[in-house]
Structure 1
């Protein structure tokens, strides 16, 4: 994976602290650094840091906000909501993937920040214009699927050796059923070199997004989605 785009160097003490926290998040993950780490990275004293922020949670939010600002949001009026979501989720993938833990943060707290709320509102608007109901539920499921795939990959980072061992065990068994062969073929896509793995991960992500978009387009239009009635608006 290429190095993350850390954005332009900000000016001002508060912005420099956020930038240092972002760089730490790229290196160690959003939740992988301490305030002491930040003091060293930002070359700032605890009093300086706490003068500009109320604490770690506010810093994490500032980091996520700075990352999300790199996501280009399609306009409110789009000819095809599926293509708009593909573009949006693809940009989310590129912006968020270099910072492990960010996708999970957005799943839990995304609407708390202005850009997160904007994305949710725009997505719902695309769906309403296309006649998809309930639009809020459909939008949440599309975005949750996209972010959930990234969060799952974050949790599994460094597990390639475990995957390799599982794959070897599966290959060594005498069960050569079609389903076993399919499992081996699927897992082989992720037991590859470091240069190939990002492409496999991105293809998995794109397929997951397209699957949920296809389900939304078909199921929400014909009313066949279980549990959807609860989320319908008057």
Structure 2
């Protein structure tokens, strides 16, 4: 689409509307999967209008990630620390992040420099301190959050390749079967675990969530092994 220079398509356009569109594009693809030109086409403006109102892709990505973080609310503060983190990661972080592919990767790269996350951080650190976690609450908090975020990011990366199609899926599984012919345990791993991820769609989504829940539980159990008296 060609936008005439004299056409005031940007009238009524606000930074919030631009971020709305950027967030929607992220839901539909991946935070790293769309460009300023894609966003401009969605809004029917020239790319220069986007830069004028908000800035470049880096700043837009930050604003989308900030919105996702702001949508996450801390669980009941009365919960025991493991259950508090379980509810935070499974009920709040996971649905917010997986519905915005690429945001988890952005957070791993940039951290969480948003005031809206401060309250969650304070409560989480406080709970770990009161539990007497060793070698320290800050390290434990980082391990818990990073393990969860990294797992979501890995799932997002797989999503980018799900559209490779049945041909690539079939070729991948045939290759695993040839490689593991004489190794029954590895063949079982291929058939029962890898195949589901490679299949994509609802099967892969279910396995990603199942794996995420397992990572959360294993991480919390590992952190608990360094807990002092309650």
TM-score, normalised on structure 1?
0.78
Structure 1 residues 119 and 54: alpha-carbon distance in aligned structure 2, compared to 1, 3 A threshold: same
Residues matched between the structures, number: 210
- 1:190 is paired with a residue of what secondary structure? helix
> For structure 1, which segment, 112-121 or 131-140, has the greater mean C-alpha deviation from structure 2 after superposition?
112-121
> Residue by residue, what CA displacement relative to the aligned partner does 1:65-113 show, whole Å, maximum 9, x if unpaired?
11222212124x3331111111111211101112221001112323311
Structure 1 residues 15 and 57: alpha-carbon distance in aligned structure 2, compared to 1, 3 A threshold: same
Superposed CA RMSD in Å reads 2.5
Q: Which residue number in structure 1 is paired with residue 16 of structure 2?
A: 15
Q: Which residue number in structure 1 is paired with residue 192 of structure 2?
A: 185
Aligned match for 2:202, one of 187, 195, 220: 195
Does residue 221 (structure 1) correspond to residue 227 (structure 2)? The answer is: yes
Q: Which residue number in structure 2 is paired with residue 37 of structure 1?
A: 38
Does residue 79 (structure 1) correspond to residue 90 (structure 2)? The answer is: no
Counterparts of 1:1-234 in structure 2 under 5 Å? 13-46=14-47, 48-75=49-76, 77-90=77-90, 91-133=92-134, 134-157=136-159, 158-159=161-162, 162=168, 164-172=170-178, 173-192=180-199, 194-218=201-225, 220-221=226-227
The unaligned stretches of length 5 or more in structure 2 are 1-11
Structure 1 residues 189 and 31: alpha-carbon distance in aligned structure 2, compared to 1, 3 A threshold: closer
TM-score, normalised on structure 2?
0.79
Q: Hey, what's the Cα distance between the residues in 1 that align with 2:100 and 2:224?
A: 31
The unaligned stretches of length 5 or more in structure 1 are 1-10, 223-234
- 1:15 is paired with a residue of what secondary structure? helix
